Amino acid sequence: MAEYFRPLVICDPVRPRDAVGLAGGWGWFTHAEVLSRNRSGRVIPAADIPAGVLSRLTGPRADIAGLSMEHPRLMGILNVTPDSFSDGGRFLQKDAALAQAGAMGSADMLDIGGESTRPGSAPVLVPEEIARTAPVIAALRQSFAGVISIDTRKSEVARAALESGATMLNDVSAMEYDAGMAPLAAERDVPICLMHAQGTPETMQADPQYDNVLLDVYDALAGWVDRAVAAGIDRSRIVIDPGIGFGKTMQHNLTLLAGLSLFHGLGCPILLGASRKRFIGTLGNAPDADDRMPGSIAVALAGVAQGVQILRVHDISQTRQALTLWRAATRGTTP
């Protein structure tokens, strides 16, 4: 019977002697919840976690495209699309996209997407997706010193983005959509984020079903990470994303958010992309996506409290302020 170990993360600056650090970051734990598919969870001391699992939970994460994972990082969302769920059409033109990038100047990373993956969206042809993203990336590379990520399922789009100056890949299909993505990532030796999704954007919200959403998503990501490594991608170059809102109901999303620390067991940095998602609007009584910033920040901080290293958000300056104050209040001193 397979067992899974979810560290019970604490971020207090004072640690007991038996505490172990989480992923080389700001959190620590003394105990973990042991989960399985056939019985209720139980809590055990960290010292009782199998050595191999404990090593992955505690081992420092490698830098991602030169960016340390010792502190939470903010990835700004820049959709150059006509139909993204939150900001479709606003930044489709290059000048508007660059202005928005400038407004997200405190971002550590920018994620450029030319194809909407909102529920019900249809695929975009490769030439169109390249035309939307490559010129923006090339222009950004002249002024933005941080990590530039290309949000795409297609290897040809990814290659054009890398040639234009992108330094990271973000594939919502976990390299399942295009067989050329894994060889490209291995060839170029760039970091890649593998996201969990059940189904495709066209169908994913029709009727998502899981036996145990937390463990099912974990197992799927573990399999995709193993396949990526087998394809020649160094494990230190892999980021994982549980895919909030991608083939999940509101309850699925909440279960994943409550159990996020489980995913540290994969030994990779975790990316959380929940910004302005529909469940935030439902719970927060905000039908308009533009009104979901406070709820998005609350979810982001809950993720950081579980050791999530990368927050993919629309509202960079507001999230930066919240994160700065969270860290100051947690430590009792200025950052």
Active site amino acids = 277, 312
Q: Contact, 316 vs 104, CB < 8 A?
A: yes
Q: Contact, 32 vs 43, CB < 8 A?
A: yes
| Length of the chain (residues) | 335
Q: For 230-245, give one letter per residue: b (16+ CB within 10 A) or e.
A: eeebeeebbbbbbbbb
Q: Distance between CA atoms of 308 and 313, rounded to whole angstroms?
A: 13
Q: Contact, 166 vs 157, CB < 8 A?
A: no
What single-letter DSSP state applies at residue 292? -
Q: Distance between CA atoms of 280 and 288, rounded to whole angstroms?
A: 10
